[in-house]
A and B are shown apart, each in its own frame.
Chain A
């Protein structure tokens, strides 16, 4: 009996509780784990008493409801002790106990799933890497450990099997298979010819349908700047698209003039460009829409007039993101709608030529025959296997089947898309011409015996024509003159030089060196010729090149000697290391285009000038490697952005917010920045509302110009000049979108106004021509250019490193006064704003967790105590808390505003705005409310902070060129004029700069470069 009572205590200790308790999930899981290997038959088979049967039921309930287990002794256990049985049947009892003991023994011997075998080992017997080598375990555990090891290995294999490759690595790396793989990987984003070179060294980005290198993986930011500043930086710009227009000159000019305006600078018809002597750049607009609906900037190059054809040829180079906008517009303007079928011509000639080439092209060249036969075999092999060889045709912005050429039924213009047909490299820096003279060797003349026979290659044919040879000699002379030039900036901007050169791989230096201008060679150059070159540029006939001819381009591309053959030829040379005889097919027509450096403004003139190298496709790597061997640095997209920034030129598509491509870019950028922002944990995110930063990820330009326009109208109403206002302000076109001011005349006038008058007393003649800054002029200017943004450069006066989307603000008169007294003053501070959206967010969070429960509770409270006033009012407040804080917030900001005459209307509109916004917030709060960010509807941004916002920075960084923070951005034209009018003459053009993550304003000087 005693023993029985003792034993009967056991189940009580194990399950001492009633099943009604609730508990959390973690405990639940833990219990489940512990109980997994417990015997399930720990039951009383005895059913004698009601209390026992109750217990039994409870226990069954327990196993079914594992959530009802709890550790520790509970009150419920007491009840069982009271209900101890008075007698037990021995046999049944013993059976039950035996079952328990059995179960217990089984539980002890069985390992739980999670524990390793070594879990069973005492600590002092554990050894290093036991799971790896089972022999380190004691014998008795080895077997089990071995089993587990196998199991884990199998599990790992299964994961890998999913992505297993059917072929061995050796098979995969075979040339044909590798090319197939490359083609597959290029299906979505095309590769440039230098892709593999770049992919080994650069962080690659998939952009605009291409894989492009962004920046090198090694540290070279400063070194790249130095290269641009005093050496040479190389970029692959082959992703730029080239569109060819062909037709009579007048028709082309007439058609294209609808896209441009003389007001914004030289157009397609600029005299020096039409002659083909210079490359021009122009801003394009939708047909007859100037100054509205801009499309984007392009470069263009006319082919010099040739006597043979009355038609002119024009290449337009454009950014790939611009292509989808511009191409339809070009077609519309030229009335070219009839697509010319993408002839099979693209593919056929390669085979034809390859089959035609077995005639040994150069009998003197020993190695050419095996090479040709080899190629033929390769072509055949390709045909047999049906696997396409790597096609050099193709580009990222269209599929192969879409037409690439359009002709017109009414005019004679033909548009063809030459994207990826021409390789374009850009060399930036004062030494870029030295690099070019280092690697390029003007084509040598052909041997006489080849001249007699007809040849499948273009150069021997060319050699037969006397005029082309004289042109070649002329071009060679000009090219030799380049050696005498010390800096690329000395040459006239945009000049073009056509040239035919030998394959640069033939003269590849054995060692990588650095190209330097050579003093000795400089002295050899004819001084008079050099002077003529720098003064007048390359004479226009020298701009002619065979690169313009499609047939020549194809010939050259298809007959390129492969790297392998070239190496074999080098190996077979009698004297190792000596220069190869030039094979007949290795002459390449190229174009060299000078790129102007910084032309506008006062500082760093001529900075960042360089040369563009245009090559036929397929020859990219052949020129790239020798260029790199000359010690140039290679930059990516990041460096082209920095290049533009130092030249203070807008970079497409980043800095064209009024162009469709720019808008797309901004949207993309906003998404990316927001993603990045949301990757931080909420507690580590910047609260932009507290910093008073309305739009940290995207600049709402439209709202800015509209608000400034409104304000200016109100100002002018309150002040005077009602007649002008009625002319300008009362007919606002709400639909009109903002544009960027690109009229050269207006820009020049503004740039004079922005200068502080005292600093340049010598500039009097230029100042007197432009009308002095006065309200009447500005009002007429504003009337003419409504909703305009201005591209400005901002230099920090002392400290401050502007970041992306930093605010440009108007300094108050007190600020300027203090700055005058203390030039070292760092600037005013913005008081911290209150985050009124926080309540919204908190409520949202609560709602998410226990919405039902809360609402039920609230209802209950409301029903139960309706007389309790303060509770109900509190809940009222909770319902729309955003109303109160906004008003609280907008109050001080109004008080703190600058002393500009405050139009009363603005004050009245402000709360209205906020109310509308608050309503909208309650409407959309559930969808996209992120802490620290404004929702879709922004507040009045002009007067959101204590200093009025003029605009935002789109590119800002510490400038290595000036040694201070420097930024490029846009400001509202109306706002800037207002600001300038209020500033005294000696402090004109001083603005405040504030980063989105800072409350500190910094003084900066604003420049308009025109």
Chain B
């Protein structure tokens, strides 16, 4: 997935954070330095014709992989291309390229969704702060079904 997976040191005051759940003593605490660590997005079981697009792998390689799934020995009638966050753009791009190469044989069906992501906030001074906090945030995702129409 396309999450920039680095933790970013950021000074955040607790009030500014949108907590998923109400943290009791959080309100009266001083702004503490936190380290933000992003957890990986939740993984779901993957079929053979699911392709998750990321920003690390070469674009061409990902395109070739999709192409291979469609017309290779695997011979899937349809594949599903998933993209999250920054990779939405690339997922769309790949789907359109596939369609263009197929000379109109392929059809697309796009779906969007929202994925809940979890961040851990680790206090710099772990002894003083309370328990490490987690917060959730949402990110957009796209799921494009690329298929041969069953005519």
**Which residues in B have their C-beta under 8 angstroms from that of A536?**
21, 134
**Which residues in A have their C-beta under 8 angstroms from that of B134?**
492, 535-536
A748 in contact with B9 given A267-B127, A535-B134 (CB within 8 Å): yes
Q: Of B5, B40, B124, which contacts A487 at CB under 8 A? A: B40
A430 to B10, CA, bound (A): 29
A490 to B41, CA, bound (A): 8
Q: Of B118, B120, B127, which contacts A271 at CB under 8 A? A: B127
Q: Mark B1-40, 1 if CB is under 8 A from A, else 0.
A: 0001111111100000000110000000000000001111
Segment of B42-50, B61-69, B87-95, B99-107 in the binding face:
B42-50
Which residues of B from 91 to 139 have beta carbons under 8 Å from A? 116, 118, 120, 124-127, 129-132, 134, 136
Residue in B closest to A267 when the chains form the complex, CB atoms: B127
Q: At the interface, yes or no: A272 with Cβ under 8 Å from chain B?
A: yes
A769 to B33, CA, bound (A): 12
CB distance from A647 to the nearest CB of B (A): 14
Which residues of A from 269 to 300 have beta carbons under 8 Å from B? 269-272, 275, 277
Residue in B closest to A268 when the chains form the complex, CB atoms: B127
A486 to B6, CA, bound (A): 22
CB distance from A320 to the nearest CB of B (A): 28
Q: At the interface, yes or no: A765 with Cβ under 8 Å from chain B?
A: yes
- Docked-complex contact B42 and A486, CB < 8 angstroms: yes
- Docked-complex contact A492 and B120, CB < 8 angstroms: yes
- Docked-complex contact B131 and A271, CB < 8 angstroms: yes
Q: At the interface, yes or no: A605 with Cβ under 8 Å from chain B?
A: yes
**Which residues in A have their C-beta under 8 angstroms from that of B4?**
762
A267 in contact with B118 given A489-B40, A536-B134, A602-B6 (CB within 8 Å): no
A955 to B130, CA, bound (A): 37
Interface range on chain A (Cβ under 8 Å from partner): 35 or more
**Which residues in A have their C-beta under 8 angstroms from that of B127?**
262, 266-267, 269-271
- Docked-complex contact B40 and A267, CB < 8 angstroms: no
A393 to B37, CA, bound (A): 43
**Which residues in A have their C-beta under 8 angstroms from that of B131?**
271-272, 275, 277
A644 to B16, CA, bound (A): 37
Of B10, B45, B127, most A-chain CB atoms within 10 Å: B127
Name B's interface SS: loop
Which residues of A from 421 to 448 have beta carbons under 8 Å from B? 430
Compute the total of residue contacts between A and B using a CB distance below 8 Å: 77
A277 to B5, CA, bound (A): 26
Q: Mark A760-804, 1 if CB is under 8 A from B, else 0.
A: 001101100100000000000000000000000000000000000
A766 in contact with B40 given A270-B127, A486-B45 (CB within 8 Å): no
- Docked-complex contact A271 and B130, CB < 8 angstroms: yes
- Docked-complex contact B40 and A271, CB < 8 angstroms: no
A748 to B116, CA, bound (A): 28
- Docked-complex contact A267 and B11, CB < 8 angstroms: no
CB distance from B113 to the nearest CB of A (A): 15
Q: Mark A598-621, 1 if CB is under 8 A from B, else 0.
A: 011111011000000000000000
A532 to B144, CA, bound (A): 30
A599 to B7, CA, bound (A): 9
**Which residues in A have their C-beta under 8 angstroms from that of B116?**
531
Q: Of A486, A492, A601, A769, which contacts B44 at CB under 8 A? A: A486
A763 in contact with B8 given A271-B131, A534-B118 (CB within 8 Å): yes
27 A–B contacts from the bound complex (CB under 8 Å): A262-B127, A265-B126, A266-B127, A267-B126, A271-B126, A271-B130, A272-B126, A486-B42, A486-B45, A487-B40, A489-B40, A492-B134, A517-B45, A535-B20, A536-B21, A599-B37, A602-B5, A603-B5, A605-B5, A606-B40, A744-B124, A748-B9, A763-B8, A765-B10, A766-B8, A766-B10, A769-B11
Binding site for B on A (CB under 8 A): 262, 265-267, 269-272, 275, 277, 430, 486-487, 489-490, 492-493, 517, 519, 522, 531, 534-536, 599-603, 605-606, 744, 748, 762-763, 765-766, 769
The list of the 7 closest CB pairs from A to B, nearest first, reads A266-B126, A270-B126, A602-B6, A269-B127, A605-B5, A486-B43, A487-B43
